[in-house]
Structure 1
């Protein structure tokens, strides 16, 4: 299932409606194996929640409007799932995704854009 925050739409694979996305829309993908094309470009989403980070000329760039973590053991995903299991009225977007990320990043001056991109890419040494 994909949650398309921009239009407040819940879409399943092969259903119409995903072509009305604006260029600044946000997308959250929950547990989906899919390839998305057309306006968003081609993005492969493995199992998990994903925030897509692209490296261009050595600089990190988050894909415009897409929150798309591509590993099922990503710390933000695990934190979000823990919140979803323990909160009675948990919301998949604000509790599961956003609060899962906030457990690791509180957007302080010590945590800049590049370190956030590194975290989302879940790099292993």
Structure 2
């Protein structure tokens, strides 16, 4: 579990155990050496962002490096979506908050986006996951 500096979001990251290609850097207000170290391994991260600059709060999920087919992968709940500009999945906080079972809605979002990322990236899920 980690807390991102500068954006006030909290997240958890799962790793495949494999190295990732060097990140190109260029993230505003973040030194390239930090980005390259942070994304030196294949990963799927998910978290919550409180919103800002006119954008509403949301749960999010992304994979690094990106993988073809992510935008078309089936995810839940129905209000969740893939933003191609950001390369991430989002579940608006308001959609989760007003769901019949908010906890289940967030759980479904986190599990379905992780499954899409791990499956499309060819991760050995049997070796990585504990039940």
Higher strand share: 2
Regarding TM over 0.5, the answer is no
User: What TM-score, normalized to structure 2?
Assistant: 0.29
